[in-house]
């Protein structure tokens, strides 16, 4: 499971000219799922993101987590995070999980994230053509791959 976490001042998701998600301070999480991902990956990644100290304290030091700041989150499924670009110029997505695996894993991740954060989060729509708009704050962008957690 791979995640790109962006600290944002605001973010939104639009599908077919309809805004389906909209937050202020918090994180935008782009989530890539592969077949070998497990519930343990979901639990670990959710806790890790919710507890990342990427928000400034009163001294301007990144010392607070999403939980500490009561920030909001948008979670968007993005299979292209598993692109392989080793050969040629057309990326291969062979490692990305197919929808029958990815959708339940994505939904389980969202539920786990809400439990860990202690409030609902907003999402994109799996498989939809989404327009994601964000104002990256910092900029702060963190990439996490659960295959590198140990």
Query: Would you name the residues annotated as active-site residues?
Result: 78-80
Phi, psi of 83 (to 5 degrees): -65, 135
Q: Locate 145 and state its tokens.
A: 């791959």
The DSSP element (H or E) to which 145 belongs, if any, is strand 130-145
Give the residues across from 92 on adjacent strands.
Answer: 84
Neighbours of 117 (CB within 10 A): 21
């Amino acid at each position: 499971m791979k995640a790109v976490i962006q600290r944002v001042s605001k973010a939104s998701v639009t599908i077919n000219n309809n805004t389906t998600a909209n937050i202020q301070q918090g994180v935008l999480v782009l989530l890539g799922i592969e077949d070998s991902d497990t519930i343990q990956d979901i639990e670990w990644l959710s806790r890790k993101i919710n507890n990342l100290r990427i928000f400034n304290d009163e001294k301007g030091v990144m010392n607070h987590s999403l939980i500490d700041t009561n920030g909001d989150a948008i979670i968007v499924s993005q299979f292209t995070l598993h692109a392989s670009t080793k050969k040629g110029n057309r990326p291969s997505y062979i490692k990305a999980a197919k929808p029958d695996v990815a959708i339940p894993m994505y939904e389980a991740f969202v539920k786990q994230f809400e439990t860990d954060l202690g409030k609902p989060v907003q999402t994109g729509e799996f498989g939809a053509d989404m327009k994601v708009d964000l104002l990256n704050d910092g900029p702060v962008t963190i990439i996490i791959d659960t295959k590198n957690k140990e």
